Structures are given as structure tokens and as C-alpha cells.
Amino acid sequence: MELPEDFYIFQCDTIKKERQLFLNVLITDPPVSIRTHKIKLMSDWIDKSDVPWNDHGHYLDTRPSFTLDPNFHAGAYYVQEASSMFLEYAVKSCIDLSRPNKVLDLCAAPGGKSTLLNGLLSEDSLLVCNEVIKSRINPLKQNLAKWGYPNYLICNHECEDFENLKGYFDLVVVDAPCSGEGLFRKDKKAIKEWSIDNVQLCTSRQKRILKGAMDLVKPGGTLIYSTCTYNTSENESNIKWISSLDLFEGIQLNVNEDWKIEEQKFEGSYGYQFFPHKVKGEGFFISCFRKKQIGESAQFKKIKPFAKSISKAELMIISPWIKNHEKYFFFKNDLEEIKAIPQELKYDVDILKTYIKRMSTGLNIGTIKKNGLIPHHDLALSLIVNNDIPNIELTKTEALLFLKKETFKPSTDQIGWHLVKYQNLNLGWVKVLKNRLNNYLPTSWRIRMDLPSN
């Protein structure tokens, strides 16, 4: 594979010294990996092996059609590049996950790192998932909905828009927009789009994002920075720049030598570089920092409640649909949809809604009409839906028909709402009527490819 000769100008010594080994691996197929849900359990994959730095990461011997796997639509796993799963090991090494944490994923879409964080954090922690590009918000929403946890918020802002939340977060993760060198093997377009000008543009943008991110970390809190690049401009120079400000100290991770991850030592900081000719994964870089006890944690005054609770009558209608409904604060949005957030996060959401305007708040429960609930798809995929609701177990053929938003004959005569399941995993809602079945899968979620004839 030919790369632009300019590509080697900013490269670290490893790329320069092992140029041919690096080039040789770029003409091979990238490994296929998934990260499984720790609660939504599915039947084991026959052809898998473990990603060593992630408790739920697995390599697959072949790439199946994920679109035609109902487990994928149920949120039983996320298709994620193995190197980037190292975030789990980094987070576990840096923060106490047994206590409540306020976490910001500043560059969140499409949701790989957000769902990973959501599965790691305690249920009384708050995860704020921000994405600056509006068109990427819907994929982020869908992936977090599949993962099923109720303790996250999604917002659409530049990092500067968080300035009123200085010193608020225990952990800020910046998986920064980059020149995409680590994508060369699986995305040939990334090679054509690469240029020195783009590297310099990315480096400048990364520093701007990092400058805002550093302010948001509370004293003693953690900042994690990552890219899918190899070059010293986007990695080493940015890390040295953070250290030069004397606000953070680098965190050295205890990385197993057998993993073949290259530790890079800079001035008071450490970087961990993944090379595709050394690890079973793509190009990736990550560095972790602890904020010194400088400045103050965020203080807030005159915070007003962002919403009123629903009425007792409305709570009576929805409570049978929710496990442990007393643990949640229920409210309505402008569309009259009922949303839920954990009660213990109510004050934090009040704070965030005061200062962050473009924010999607709460798990969508549904809409009340004629004294009954029309349940939302997010509720079906959530971990808080009441499993005592009537359900229909589908065959794989039926599950795919449901996911294509087509009809099939129900295996029940019981009229009313039902959860449809595949291998005991929730896929969505149907309403069984006297002579037909209504499929309530959102149109935007449906499978668009043709189903196999068998």
C-alpha cells in the first residue's frame, strides 16, 4: 500500500523504523470485534476470542451481517474497534467506579465510548454525552437507547458552551476529531483525505477542545485524551502542551507487556500507542491525566427545577410498566412525552438544564392517550422496563420481519400491548388486536436491506 510521502514527516520513531512492517499490515483485513452488554446476555458466539484489555470485548473470526442479527438490534453488543476498547482499562485505572461520578464524553458520536462508559459507571452516576455535529446526534441517541441505561443525557454543543460548568466533572473524555491515520486499513478514503494541512488543522482544533475540557475537570478529577492517529503533532505535542500548563499530572498505566501496546514517555506524562502491526486492532492513542488540587469545584446558586413531576393519575398509569418506579423522577417534555431520570440525579439535571440548552433529557417512557400509555421504543430496550408485561418470543424469521417493520402472525390471542423478544432480549412493541398485529417499531429503526429468502 502506498501512503503519501508527507505522511512520514510527523510520524513517531516506531512508524519510521518499522515502515515496511506497518505497510504490510495495512493490506490485510482489519480484525472484527464486538463489546457485549454485561446485562443483556445472549448466546455465546462460536467463533470468538477475548480482547485482553476489555472484560466484555471479543474478536470474531469472521464478519457476520450484524444488520441481520436481532441480538444487535436488542443492544446485546456494540460493534467496536478493539484498540478503542482500551478506554475501559484506562477508566478503571484512573477513577473509583464504586462511587457516584459525573462524566462528560465531549466528542461522543456515534456512541462507542459513551456506551462503554455507561456500562462501567455506577447507577447513581451521571453521563453527559455531547456531540457538536447535529447530524450525528440521532445515531448517538439510538446506540445509547439500545444500551438501555437511564442515567445519561445527550447534548449538542461546542466545548466553549460548557464554560459555566468549570470544575464540575469527575471525568472528562476527549476522543478528539483527528486526521484518521488509524483508519487507513479499513477506510481507504481516509488515505486520500490525509494531508499535512489537515493534520495541522486537527492539531489546532484538538488544542481548542482540550483547553475547554481541562477547565471542566474538578480538582483531583481525570482527563482522558485519545485519537485514532500515530503522528507526534496530534499526540505527543498536545500531551506535552497539557503538561506545560502545570494544571495536570500524567497518569502512568500498568499495561501488560504481552498486549504489545507501546508506552511513550513525554515530559511529565505518558501516552499509549496502538500499532496495527503489533496489536490485534487499529491505530489508536490514549493519555490520562489527574488534575492537581488547583482551583475550586463548581458552585451553583439559584438553580431552578427544570420540570414538574407528572400527576398522580399519570403515575398510576405508567407505574406498572416500570421496574422500581419509585426510583425515578417522571416529567413531560414539550411533545407531552413522559421521560424518566433517576431520582438521585434530579439536582444535577437541574444544574445542567440551567446552563446547557440543546439537551435531550431522560429516558422516553411514552405518551398517555385515553387513560392508557402508548409506550416508546426506548422503554422496550431499557433496563427499567417491567419484565412482567406480556411478551411474545419470536423466531429469528419473525424477529427480522418485525425489525423490517413488516407483519407476522402473533403466537397469542391476548389482546393488548406486548414486548416482542428474541432469545429473551427485548426488541420492541407490538399491539395485538382482534384480527391483526400492529408493529410499533419506529420507521427510522427498521432494516432496509432485503431479508434472506430462507
Which residues belong to the active site? Answer: 228
The answer to whether 155 touches 358, Cβ cutoff 8 Å, is yes
Spatial neighbors of 86 by CB under 8 A, at least 6 apart, are: 53, 54, 261, 272, 274, 284, 286
CB 385, CB 429: distance < 8 Å:
no
**The dihedral of CA 186, 138, 83, 225: what is its sign?**
positive
Q: Are 235 and 285 in contact (CB under 8 A)?
A: yes
Q: Which helix (H) or strand (E) holds 164?
A: none
The answer to whether the beta carbons of residues 251 and 242 sit under 8 Å apart is no
75: helix, coil or strand? coil
- Phi first, then psi, for residue 303 (nearest 5°) are -85, 125
Helix, strand, or coil here: 222? strand
Enter the C-alpha cell of residue 122.
455506577
Q: Exposure of 160 by Cβ count < 10 A (0-12 exposed, 13-18 middle, 19+ buried)?
A: exposed
Q: At what angle do helices 196-216 and 236-244 cross, to 10 degrees?
A: 30
Longest Cα–Cα distance in the chain: 72
How many beta carbons lie within 10 A of that of residue 27, not counting itself?
8
Measured CA angle at 114 (ends 263, 85), to 5 deg? 35
CA 418 to CA 395: how far, in whole Å? 15
3-state secondary structure of 167: coil
Q: How far apart are CA 418 and CA 42, in angstroms?
A: 21
Contact 55, 83 (CB under 8 A): no
Task: With CA atoms as reference, report the closest residue to 54 among 125, 140, 126, 113.
Answer: 113
Strands (E), 106-199: 126-130, 152-155, 169-175
- 192-209 burial by CB neighbour count: b if 16+ within 10 A, else e? eebeeeebeebbeebbeb
Q: Residue 412's closest CA among 392, 440, 441?
A: 392
Report d(CA 163, CA 132) in Å as an integer: 15
